[in-house]
Structure 1
């Protein structure tokens, strides 16, 4: 550096030289990085080529199916269906909507629901009048602020053979603010010519008098009807211990799950039908009528039947 240069002349010269040096360093570093990147890319390509070549030479025996102790074939290649542990608590219909028909089919197979014939809800050529036991289901609509209160809108009753013996729409006392159509299936036109609450209440009371009442979560229906029924004459599918055990013991099983698990029927896919729900409850009752009635009788016999049924369920016999 020239010693005759002033301080004001030295500083710009030093900055210029530093910039050249820094620029050269950056250029060198960039070239070095690109060189290394090229080497890595080349090495990866070579490894991929070797792997493909190795796979082509792989013995066909390694792709054959293995045999387990039971003689069932299991492929080494990954299954097209994912593990289903994460959908254990979902209905098959929900699985089909969210994950597709293939996963739903695998779930049905895993749960033992595949190729099982659905049980009939109505006995052909059977008596179509009132029987000792009747099944009932009600549909409600919403009244009050934002439909927060429930009001009776439909009552359906079937006999023990599944034949419908009573089905009427009810015109609520209060203004309907939510028809809840997506669940109830009720529309304004249904209630336009509906009967009065008092009339339907009296007719239902006359039918139920002295008869066994079958249904699911009947406390809701009886509340809507503003009625009571002798406890010993009620057969509620949501409270029957063997059915509760299917939902984990203390949990209340839904009618939809009972229909699928016991009757192999798919119900309530959209709007509910009170006739069908009453038929399902009645079919569940008649299918287990002997055990149910024994359970309802006081004494050791009822407890013995309960223990036997619980044992069968835990053994997978139900």
Structure 2
């Protein structure tokens, strides 16, 4: 009923308008179809006359699509600049190595033109149009090398010593340089600053090699126990008055070593495997010290670790000598500090050596032997005599 009413409601004039619009639309569609048909016919006629223009037609089949793709690839190749050959790449690498920086886009363009045989623009290069010579790459030391290959990073053999020109530190203490960069660099820095190189020898050449009335003792220790906190003797060294080593032995420990303290002690497992029994070393050292003046630095620690004792009046401890402490302004100066300040000698720069430490202690004692012994005599004389008992 609703449909019939709607149809009845339409007037004759409305029907005529709708028919006119649909007629116009149909005409437009027909014109478009005719236009494209004419276009296709015209294109087909052109292709028959000029077969090279087949790529202009829209593809219809899969074969035509693939043919168009190939034609497009060839067209792109013609438009793209030719790739750099091996020689241009080599020139670019040489420029990078010689200058130490990446070449600019202008330099890249010049290298590319030179490789392709094209002429370079006037004024672009300073060579005045002449072909630039190849510059060999610079080596790590600044010298020229054949070819453009980089020098290998790793090299066999000892490292070359630093040159004076390589050290450029200003107003820096050579001791700080040594702590940061090593003794070789510090040696060059001292030379540049005009500082006299510190001595290293602590023994007298050609001197007597046997036992003397005065000997110096030093021990190296390793750690035992769960945390390696307990110390046991691992090496004992004794030197005579002239710094000549008269006794030096490693000790085979009776307990398990949990910390070899190699960075400080210089002790390694192989040393202790071939070491002597503790009791043998203890007896030999005791026989050497008997009746002699013993010199050492904090020597009570060395005697304690060997379970030995020595008369106080025949012991000379460089750590407790008052004039030494006053000169370096320290209550408990280290052996290293005393040697640097008083002897101009550097010790313990790497791993410690009991022989070197004993030599250093002896050298300190010998430099002030007269004063030291004289002060002990004065103290002895100033001591009041013990009171005698009353006689009836």
- Identify the TM-score tier after normalising by the shorter chain: 0.5 to 0.7
Which consecutive unaligned segments of at least 5 residues does structure 2 have? Answer: 1-168, 384-392
SS in 1 for 2:310: coil
Asked if 1:208 is matched to 2:289, the reply is: yes
Q: Determine the structure 2 residue equivalent to 1:218.
A: 299
Whether the 8 Å CA contact 2:198–2:346 is kept in 1: the answer is no
Higher relative contact order structure (alpha carbons within 8 Å, sequence separation ≥ 6)? 1
* Alignment of structure 1 residues 181-260 onto 2, 5 Å: 181-249=262-330, 251-260=331-340
- Report the CA distance shift for 1:248/1:126 in structure 2 as closer, same or farther (over 3 A): same
1:130 paired residue among 211, 219, 228: 211
1:283 paired residue among 357, 360, 363: 363
* Alignment of structure 1 residues 44-193 onto 2, 5 Å: 81=170, 93-98=175-180, 105=189, 114-115=195-196, 118=199, 120-193=201-274
Distance of 1:300 and 1:211 partners within structure 2: 19
Which consecutive unaligned segments of at least 5 residues does structure 1 have? Answer: 1-79, 304-318
Runs (4+) of structure 1 exceeding 4 A deviation are 99-106, 300-303
User: How many corresponding residue pairs?
Assistant: 213
- Report the CA distance shift for 1:159/1:261 in structure 2 as closer, same or farther (over 3 A): same
Asked if 1:271 is matched to 2:351, the reply is: yes
- Report the CA distance shift for 1:96/1:117 in structure 2 as closer, same or farther (over 3 A): closer
- Report the CA distance shift for 1:168/1:302 in structure 2 as closer, same or farther (over 3 A): farther
**Alignment TM-score, normalising by the size of structure 1:** 0.61
- Report the CA distance shift for 1:181/1:295 in structure 2 as closer, same or farther (over 3 A): same
Q: CA RMSD, aligned part only?
A: 2.9
SS in 2 for 1:296: helix
Distance of 2:341 and 2:279 partners within structure 1: 38
Distance of 1:161 and 1:103 partners within structure 2: 27
The structural deviation recorded for 1:99 is 8.3
Whether the 8 Å CA contact 1:259–1:280 is kept in 2: the answer is yes
The structural deviation recorded for 1:105 is 4.8
Pair member with larger Rg = 2
Whether the 8 Å CA contact 1:238–1:255 is kept in 2: the answer is yes
Whether the 8 Å CA contact 1:95–1:103 is kept in 2: the answer is no
- Report the CA distance shift for 1:119/1:177 in structure 2 as closer, same or farther (over 3 A): closer
Bigger strand share: 1
The structural deviation recorded for 1:258 is 1.1
Whether the 8 Å CA contact 2:328–2:341 is kept in 1: the answer is no
The structural deviation recorded for 1:116 is 5.7
Distance of 2:366 and 2:351 partners within structure 1: 25
Distance of 1:119 and 1:230 partners within structure 2: 32
